Amino acid sequence: MEASEARKTLFSGIQPSGSITLGNYIGALRNFVLLSEQYDCLFCVVDLHALTVRQDPAALRRNTLSLAALYIAAGLDPEKNLIYCQSHVPEHAELAWILNCFTYMGELSRMTQFKDKSARHQDNINAGLFTYPSLMAADILLYQTHLVPVGADQKQHLELTRDIATRMNGLYPGLFVVPEPYIPKTSARIMSLSEPTRKMSKSDAEDSYIAVLDPPDVIRRKFRRAVTDSETEIRFDPENKPGVSNLLSILAALDAITPEEEAAKLQGLQYGALKEAASEAVIAALSPIQERYQALMGDKQYIQDILKANAERAHYLAQKTLRKVYKKLGLYQL
């Protein structure tokens, strides 16, 4: 991260809970890389958020290191971007407490992710799952962030973050920068391959998502099995043709054109050709990342050193905001 006054700050994070999916890549990680040259960036492995559902401790440790390696393998230069782990910077949890005191129960209970997750984990509707968005707001506001690249499913959390920041700025002028979301126009919501009306998610059955680390034969097999429809026309129509439209969105994101243009290119061809085009585009995008990832995972010490050095730098920045917040709120300063 360069110490330039003119550059704005970008923050984003991914949970280290299981395999990182093609949805995470297209909706978020790829945009991190595209935007990283223009901003001072922090990319966080949000392990505290992952605890809102039960995690196997050994798997969580493995996934944390793996996600840090994946950030780098995807093209984020760890010398220029702060790549670090949320639990290594205690100010995230400290600011989250403060924000909890300025966030209403009504706001939190309206969050669709809370409603979805509590329906899926009925035996463990914990308070962390409920206050998850205030920890996310703390992640962002802690660094006086201007831009937050996320997929469409995080839009509501970003709006809440902005509401909290605006509310607190009203009470304590100049406290926080109010962040802007960056949500790609198309492909912000990659759908499940087996149930294309649902979001592709790492917590669903394996055949429903492509993992960023899936080998080429697995990627081809999953696309071949992807649900389409009983028609034959390749047309972008998410409402009536969710499966076909999802494949077009994936392809379009990777070719940097619109799904409609992608459909025009494939006019007259069969669904098999669309599936093959999508798998080859995905393999071409992921293969170099997988190669770099394997090399990085061969040197775990290198990744640990990066996490350590960058957490110290993030801690320094976080301290500045937290001190300001404590002071403005009237917490007694020694």
- Given the complex with ligand TYM, which of 115 and 327 has the nearer CB atom? 115
- Given the complex with ligand TYM, which of 67 and 168 has the nearer CB atom? 67
Q: Exactly one of 8, 155, 185, 199 is catalytic; name it.
A: 199
Query: What φ, ψ does residue 226 adopt, rounded to 5°?
Result: -60, 140
Q: For the chain, first and last CA: distance in Å? A: 31
Q: How, if at all, do strands 147-149 and 180-182 pair?
A: parallel
Vertex 186 angle, CA 257 and 73, to 5°: 80
Active-site residue, 80 included: no
Whether the CB-CB separation of 117 and 129 falls below 8 Å is answered with yes
Least distance (Å) between residue 216 CB and ligand TYM:
21
Residue nearest to ligand TYM (CB): 27
Least distance (Å) between residue 175 CB and ligand TYM:
18
φ/ψ region of 309 (left if φ > 0, alpha if ψ in -120 to 50, else beta) reads alpha
Active-site residue, 199 included: yes
Q: Pseudo-torsion of CA 24, 164, 38, 252, nearest 10°?
A: 30
- Given the complex with ligand TYM, which of 152 and 297 has the nearer CB atom? 152
- Could you tell me which residues come within 8 angstroms of residue 60 by beta carbon, excluding any fewer than 6 positions away? 16, 17, 47, 50
Active-site residue, 117 included: yes
Least distance (Å) between residue 274 CB and ligand TYM:
19
Residue 326: closest CA among 82, 91, 7: 91
Q: Exactly one of 8, 117, 275, 300 is catalytic; name it.
A: 117
The span from the CA of 305 to the CA of 67, in Å, is 15
- Given the complex with ligand TYM, which of 198 and 327 has the nearer CB atom? 198
CA distances from residue 283 to 40, 270, 288 in whole angstroms, order as listed: 30, 20, 9
- Given the complex with ligand TYM, which of 17 and 279 has the nearer CB atom? 17
Least distance (Å) between residue 4 CB and ligand TYM:
22
Q: Exactly one of 202, 222, 241, 275 is catalytic; name it.
A: 202
The residues binding ligand TYM (CB under 6 A) are: 11-15, 23-24, 26-28, 46, 49, 136, 139-140, 148, 150-151, 153-154, 188-190, 199-200
Residue 144: closest CA among 168, 124, 128: 168
Least distance (Å) between residue 148 CB and ligand TYM:
5
What are the catalytic residues? 117, 199, 202
